[in-house]
Structure 1
Amino acid sequence: MSGGADVLALARAAREVAAEHAEDVDAAGRFPHEVLDVLRDNGLLGLLVPRDHGGLGGDLRDLVAVTSRIAEGCLSSALVYAMHCQQVDALVRHAGRELRAHLLPRVASGGTYLASITTELGSSGLLTCDQELVPDGEHHVVRREAPVVTGGRHADGFLVTMRAAPDATPRQVSLVYADRDQVEVTAGPPWASLGMRGVENVGLTVSGRVPDGQVLGVPGGFADIAVESFAPVAHLGWSAAWLGAARGAFGELVRRIRRTDGVRADPRSELVRHRVARVRVRLEAVGGYLSGVLDEVLGAHERGSSLAGASCQIHLNTLKVLAAEETYAAANEMVELAGLRAGYLRGSRPPLERLVRDLRSASLNHDDAALLTSSGALCLLEPTVTTLGPDPRSVCR
């Protein structure tokens, strides 16, 4: 369905609601429930759900387009949406038939918003976990504490990483679905963060029993799910959100400069034109690289190829780092262009003060340093340099 006009119209409607409430969401540090209500009602929660399960049947190109549009109104709302879609993609690709048949129609109808529980105290890694699943007849006992869960207080279900069994190693991690009515949920207070206040990150504890069939993929095989689904969807979705937020602010800033409307920048100045162009270069670079990686991932999906190859992993890591660094740099340059009153004060238009605070988190959201270390190791193992681009060796195989 990729790029369908109807989906973009739905995204624009969500963007308008997101923009209407963005200032209050940020100031109050609260979850953007108005946007979630729209996404429930218009079917976008089921964007990636196949049509035979009642969803819109979209792909990752649609996810990128919708996420970037919502981000023009509110970056927090867009990241909440992208991370929900990450969970949906994992279910579509890795859940068993019975779980898919039961859960995906609920997602498609708007009844199930999903959050992930993958963080652990004392660990920064996604692929290890000390808290174990305990067999209990045809069920598993789940007890999981996480220091940060995005939107956890509002989720209708959770995808949870856990050590596969009491005798498993911390690297033998399973991904299990837990419905809200199957577990007791205890939430801590929301983080008092600098930016991204609307995602309402909270510490969360869940405990209960889930059927065996709610373990996704092979027990202990979460690493494969992370490589094929969790990481690529996260990096594509996050990058689309960061780019959409920066692009929306840049468009509004350029219009104000052109009209000399409340900003100090003189459109006749060569220095101003140079600075405007530099911001555009950053956004174009992110957009171009995002498009290239998206094509690579979708091509691999069409061929039934794995994303585990070194070049593909390097490209995905590079996308996340590039998008985080360049959109934040672009936001800083926009503040300089707009000046103190229009660029630095809370409540100014465009909302550059909020944008800078929000985008400061981008390099920390799955730490860029860890991704660069991983990419460096892969570079040293890769026999040839396969850069993203027209070189046929650059595609995942």
Structure 2
Amino acid sequence: MTLLERALSEEHHDVLDRAETFATESVAPRAEEIERSREFPRDVVEAAGDAGLLGILVPEEYGGLGGDFLSYCLAIERIAEESGAVAETIQGHTFAMLPVLNFGTDAQRERLLPDMVAGDAVGSMLLTEPGAGSSPTELGTVAEATDTGYRISGEKSFGTNAGVADVHLVVARKRPQPEDSHGVSVFLVPSPDEVDGFSFERGEYLGMHGHVTGDSTFDDVAVDADALLGAVGQGFRIAMGTIDMARTGLGAIGCGIGRAAFDEAVAYAGDRRQGGKAVGEYQAVQVLVAEMDSRLESARGLVYDSAVRIADGEGDTRVSSRAKFTASEAAEFCARNAMQVYGGKGYRTDYPLERYYRDARILAIIGGTTEIQKTTVASAALGL
């Protein structure tokens, strides 16, 4: 029994059982179809809601499980073993729900959370911009105050579930800006089908094909006064308030993808025979397997160290950053070297390894690049 397994409660095992059933029955049979069609897997999201997995971190009063962050990471890792795209879709949805839970009014929570927990409404956080990246101090999107609410204008890049979401959390600079507020704010915007002036162009990417993201344009989009989430000027706090959780969650996704690749490599090394023996009996293959195993388990240790700290209310940016970049690198390492074990077959599209490799690659970029994570860790270690 591992140290992690010894720490799991009945509630954690319940979530793991839910995730196992969902991953096996709802995700695995659809993973390759989602990959080929690139369609947003709304039916799978709804199935996740039925399984209770969208509301792991949401209190029971809104239909959630009221679980902790360790439960969330256990579930998202297992889902990622079957499909990185589905896992990232759920991750983006989850981290659009949490700001509503943490900063929304009672009316906003009661209106939005039950449907989001059930999978009947999908969420998306829109922070990044073409000319500003994810720096809230440089954002150009503005929300002009009107007699009845706000009019939003600007452009956003990326954003998981953008365009297909029913609830978009748009980070923008309110005008006129109150004298005591120099920051940005967050506004709730419905889908492009429900509001004039909101257009979306989906991007095509190397991996995560069922995961929808792209460019969102807001051209004088009108929203009511109650579209403001939290207080004016709280946008940075809202957008960055779950950063340690998001990075750790991405690390868990990396562990899931890495585990899937590793398991494929081990199974193939035992079955494939060359020169009268299984290829796993050759030392060159054994070295690859040993390195994959060690890097993957090291990454899991860091990810779940961060997850437990967050669950205990002791989240730490240094800890989440090292978990994120280590797991991202482990996922890519495992996917790449599993392809080496397979040889030429690993490069074929009718085997899953090339999908794992393409899906793993984005983890070193989203949620803060690996270089940013390493700088964060080094700065904390050096006291800079």
Is the shorter-chain TM-score for this pair beyond 0.5, marking a shared fold? yes
Q: Does 1:140 align with 2:143?
A: no
Over 3 Å counting, the alpha-carbon distance change for 1:24 and 1:265 in structure 2 is farther
| Contact 1:95–1:214 (8 Å) recurs in 2 | no
Indicate if the aligned counterparts of 1:133 and 1:163 stay in contact, CA closer than 8 A. Answer: yes
Residues in 1 aligned to 2:51 and 2:383: alpha-carbon distance in whole angstroms: 46
Q: 2:259 aligns with which of 234, 247, 255?
A: 247
Change (3 A) 1:261 1:138: farther
After TM superposition, list the pairs within 5 Å mapping 1:223-372 onto structure 2: 223-229=236-242, 231-260=243-272, 266-300=279-313, 312-341=316-345, 343-348=346-351, 351-365=352-366, 366-372=368-374
- Offset from partner CA, 1:363-392 (integer Å, 9 cap, x none): 12132223334444444445xxxxxxxxxx
Amino acid at match of 2:271: R
Amino acid in the other structure paired with 2:317: Q
The one-letter code sitting in structure 2 at the alignment partner of 1:297 is I
1:44 partner SS: coil
- Is 1:72 paired with 2:81? yes
Pick aligned residue for 1:130 from 134, 137, 140: 140
C-alpha deviation, 1:262, in angstroms: 10
Provide the secondary structure at the position in 1 that maps to 2:356: helix
Partner of 2:188: 177
Q: Match of 1:176, as an amino acid?
A: F
Q: Secondary structure at the match of 2:246?
A: helix
Partners of 1:314 and 1:375 within 8 A in 2:
yes
**Structure 2 unpaired stretches of 5+:** 1-8
Q: Which residue of 2 aligns with 1:388?
A: none
Q: Which runs of 5+ in 1 are unaligned?
A: 302-306, 383-397
User: Does the CA-based 8 Å contact 2:121-2:165 persist in structure 1?
Assistant: yes
Task: For 1:171 and 1:371, locate their aligned partners in 2 and report how far apart those are by CA, in whole Å.
Answer: 27
What is the TM-score with the length of structure 2 in the denominator? 0.87
Q: Distance in 1 between matches of 2:117 and 2:53?
A: 8
Deviation at 1:75, TM superposition (A): 0.6
The 3-state SS of whatever aligns with 2:168 is strand
User: Residues 245-270 of structure 1, C-alpha deviation per residue, up to 9 Å, x if partnerless?
Assistant: 21123123312322337999622223
The residue identity in structure 2 corresponding to 1:372 is K
Identity %: 26
Kept after mapping to 1: 8 A contact 2:59/2:66? yes
Distance 1:224 1:187 in 2: 26
Deviation at 1:166, TM superposition (A): 3.9
Q: How much has 1:158 moved relative to structure 2?
A: 0.9
TM norm structure 1: 0.84
- CA-based RMSD: 2.7
Which moved further from structure 2: 255-264 or 172-181? Answer: 255-264
Question: After TM superposition, where is structure 1 displaced by more than 6 Å over at least 4 residues in a row?
Answer: 168-171, 261-264
Which amino acid in 2 is paired with 1:173? V
Distance, in Å, in 1 between the alignment partners of 2:224 and 2:120 is 21
Distance in 1 of aligned mates of 2:108 and 2:152: 17
Structure-2 change in CA distance of 1:222 and 1:378 (3 Å): farther
